[in-house]
């Protein structure tokens, strides 16, 4: 059998190490496409000049583009046949990535738990993305539901890793050369510094972005993410939803791009504490988003930069002036598609 049929639950064992294929040189071509597909407009990722004033050599690659490329490497080995991408934890962004850097990903299986239906199981993977010098650019855990090859295969001993509810502010990686003394608020497009945000504050990001079939599939192919549910209408027309599902990471990117309007100085996505794709998204959906400041943390060694622990909720076909949220019954609002918990950095 020369073709990769994807992996099944039985193919994983605790401690298994996987070096994923297809190292990927990220370029200004990828960066342009990322802007074209998401509408992102954070100044740091848009302008070499802006980046140089902050002590970087050039505009770094958007944090989420790094995420998608690192994540994309893992799909053929982990989630080609995944039923659901269940969660992320402890996701920290490392050294900045620049055009010309080559990213690769390796993973370790750190958890396995068969589901009671014996048809499926949950696999926990710790993945590390590195650049061509071996420096870590991203480090995260995710867990996915994977089908068993054979219902009657014995269940492995259940191992569920102990994962932090959030990355601690002390663990956030601040690029060493970064110096926000030269930060230009006018160029950045927002007058609001870290000091201007308050825990508990909610922000409606106002704008909406409609997803086209081409846009999400170009994005997902760009990341060389091969999960089948995104690309094959012929197969999906007979599937659960009758149509292709948008890669959840594309929704994260749209939510982050929309969040510029209200969080324009959140120049770095420093960590993702957790994220839930509450409901699938499809072509034709219009994505809106709102955010809540969960914590506001001064960083011990950086008087110039502050961290905001944010939660951003994306909803489809639902403008977010009313902040659609999880109800008192604990159920997410029917229009919510994403609930993302993360850290951003801002000039203080």
Q: Which residues pair with 319 in a beta bridge?
A: none
**199 belongs to the binding site for a copy of itself (CB under 8 A):** no
Residue 118: other Cβ atoms inside 10 A: 14
DSSP-assigned letter for residue 57 = S
Single residue of 158, 214, 298, 331 touching a copy of itself by CB under 8 A: 214
Which parts of 127-186 interact with a copy of itself (CB under 8 A)? 132, 186
**Beta carbon of residue 103, minimum distance to a copy of itself (angstroms, whole number):** 9
**57 belongs to the binding site for a copy of itself (CB under 8 A):** no
- Check: CB of residue 127 under 8 Å from CB of residue 67: no
Single residue of 27, 108, 115, 153 touching a copy of itself by CB under 8 A: 27
For residue 187 the two structure tokens come to: 């160029």
Q: What dihedral angle (degrees, nearest 10) is formed by the CA atoms of 254, 145, 327, 250?
A: 0
State residue 39 phi and psi, 5-degree precision.
75, 15
Single residue of 234, 300, 303, 328 touching a copy of itself by CB under 8 A: 234
**33 belongs to the binding site for a copy of itself (CB under 8 A):** yes
Q: Judged by CB, which is closer to a copy of itself: 146, or 167?
A: 146
**Beta carbon of residue 201, minimum distance to a copy of itself (angstroms, whole number):** 8
x/- track of binding to a copy of itself for residues 74-113 (CB under 8 A): --x----------------------xx-x-x---------
CA–CA distance, 112 with 122 (Å, rounded to integer): 6
CA–CA distance, 261 with 207 (Å, rounded to integer): 8
**46 belongs to the binding site for a copy of itself (CB under 8 A):** yes
CA–CA distance, 276 with 328 (Å, rounded to integer): 18
Which parts of 270-329 interact with a copy of itself (CB under 8 A)? 284, 286, 288, 317, 319
């Amino acid at each position: 059998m020369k073709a990769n049929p994807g992996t099944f639950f039985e193919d994983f064992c605790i401690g298994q190490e996987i070096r994923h294929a297809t190292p990927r040189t990220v370029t200004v071509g990828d960066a342009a496409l990322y802007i074209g597909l998401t509408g992102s407009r954070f100044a740091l990722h848009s302008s070499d000049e802006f980046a140089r004033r902050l002590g970087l050599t050039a505009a770094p690659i958007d944090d989420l583009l790094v995420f998608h490329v690192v994540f994309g490497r893992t799909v053929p080995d982990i989630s080609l046949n995944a039923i659901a991408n269940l969660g992320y934890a402890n996701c920290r962004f490392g050294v900045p990535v620049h055009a010309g850097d080559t990213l690769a990903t390796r993973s370790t299986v750190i958890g396995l738990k068969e589901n009671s239906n014996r048809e499926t199981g949950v696999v926990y993977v710790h993945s590390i993305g590195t650049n061509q010098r071996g420096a870590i650019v991203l480090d995260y855990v995710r867990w996915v539901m994977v089908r068993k090859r054979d219902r009657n295969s014995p269940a492995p001993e259940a191992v569920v890793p102990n994962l932090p509810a959030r990355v601690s502010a002390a663990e956030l990686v601040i690029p060493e050369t970064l110096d926000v003394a030269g930060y230009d608020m006018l160029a950045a497009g927002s007058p609001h510094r870290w000091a201007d945000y308050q825990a508990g504050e909610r922000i409606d990001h106002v704008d909406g972005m409609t997803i086209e079939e081409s846009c999400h599939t170009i994005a997902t192919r760009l990341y060389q993410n091969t999960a089948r549910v995104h690309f094959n209408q012929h197969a999906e027309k007979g599937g659960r939803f009758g149509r292709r599902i948008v890669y959840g990471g594309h929704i994260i990117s749209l939510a982050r791009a929309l969040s510029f309007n209200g969080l324009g100085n959140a120049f770095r996505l420093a960590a993702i504490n957790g994220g839930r794709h509450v409901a699938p998204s499809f072509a034709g959906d219009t994505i809106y988003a709102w955010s809540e400041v969960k914590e506001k943390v001064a960083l011990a060694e950086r008087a110039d930069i502050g961290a905001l622990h944010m939660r951003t909720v994306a909803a489809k076909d639902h403008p977010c002036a009313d902040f659609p949220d999880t109800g008192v019954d604990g159920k997410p609002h029917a229009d919510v598609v994403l609930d993302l918990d993360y850290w951003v950095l801002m000039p203080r």
